[in-house]
Structure 1
Amino acid sequence: MNRRHHAVTLQQATEESPTLARLAGLTRDSSERLRAVEPLIPPLLRPAIRPGPIEGTTWCLLVRSSAAAAKLRQLLPALQAHLRSRGWEVTAIRLKIQT
């Protein structure tokens, strides 16, 4: 059997694979969550934060420094409440410091 390999776009691969489709959906959801809470985050702190993985009702934020994480930790209750008010089931927000 002669098999030809051909390139596919990321969108095609995502549509054809349930696993990739699920990961793409989680990535989109995480980015949407960050956009929803950005107004609650001080403007100078925003560039230090990136959306991270979602595991059940726990959402992770990737933070550039421990100083930024310390400030963000103070805002977590407000961020969680805001997300819940917008329909997301978030029981915890984890912070992961990226070095």
Structure 2
Amino acid sequence: MRPPVRSPAEGPSVPAPLSLDEAMRRSAPLAHLASMLAASRARLDVVRPLLPAPLARAVSAGPVDAESGNWVLLASSPPVAAKLRHWQPRLEAALKEAGLLPAVIRIKVQAG
């Protein structure tokens, strides 16, 4: 999209706004963020179907550590986190089987 053309009497021209997708493609930091979000969602897509429905509804994807590749799985409450820790070896094995290495999960209780 081309920016609007204005005459000097109208003042400075303002470029047309970018869509979020376009801004993320043009900005290296935002593109990296989008990549990390996709990696987190991919991991959640692998582990969520393995969990019982009530437990699956109580978890969400957290960040993937860019350096280590470790992933944070967010639990809605301390009891959910405790239950997830029982499932952790099976979930990590599923990530490894899916080729999402290193397949290390850190479980944290989601604040708020």
Percentage of identical aligned residues: 36
Give the aligned residue type for 1:45: L
Higher relative contact order (CA 8 A, sep 6+): 1
Structure 1 residue 63 displacement after superposition: 1.1
Larger CA deviation: 3-12 vs 20-29? 3-12
Separation of aligned partners in 2, 1:47 and 1:87: 24
- TM-score, with structure 1 as normaliser: 0.90
Task: Identify the match of residue 65 of structure 1 among 66, 77, 94.
Answer: 77
Asked whether 1:13 is paired with 2:11, we answer no
What are the residue-to-residue correspondences of 1:1-99 with 2, within 5 Å?
2=12, 4-55=14-65, 56-98=68-110, 99=112
Matches of 1:12 and 1:30, distance apart in 2: 21
Task: Name the larger-Rg structure.
Answer: 2
| Residues 39-84 of structure 1: per-residue CA shift (max 9 Å, x gap) | 2111111111110100022100111100000000111111111101
Considering fraction of residues, name the structure with more strand.
1
What TM-score does the superposition give when structure 2 sets the normalisation length?
A: 0.80
Where do 4+ consecutive residues of structure 1 move more than 3 Å? none
For structure 2, the 5+ residue unaligned runs are: 1-10
C-alpha deviation, 1:90, in angstroms: 2.5
Tell me how large the CA RMSD over aligned residues is: 1.6
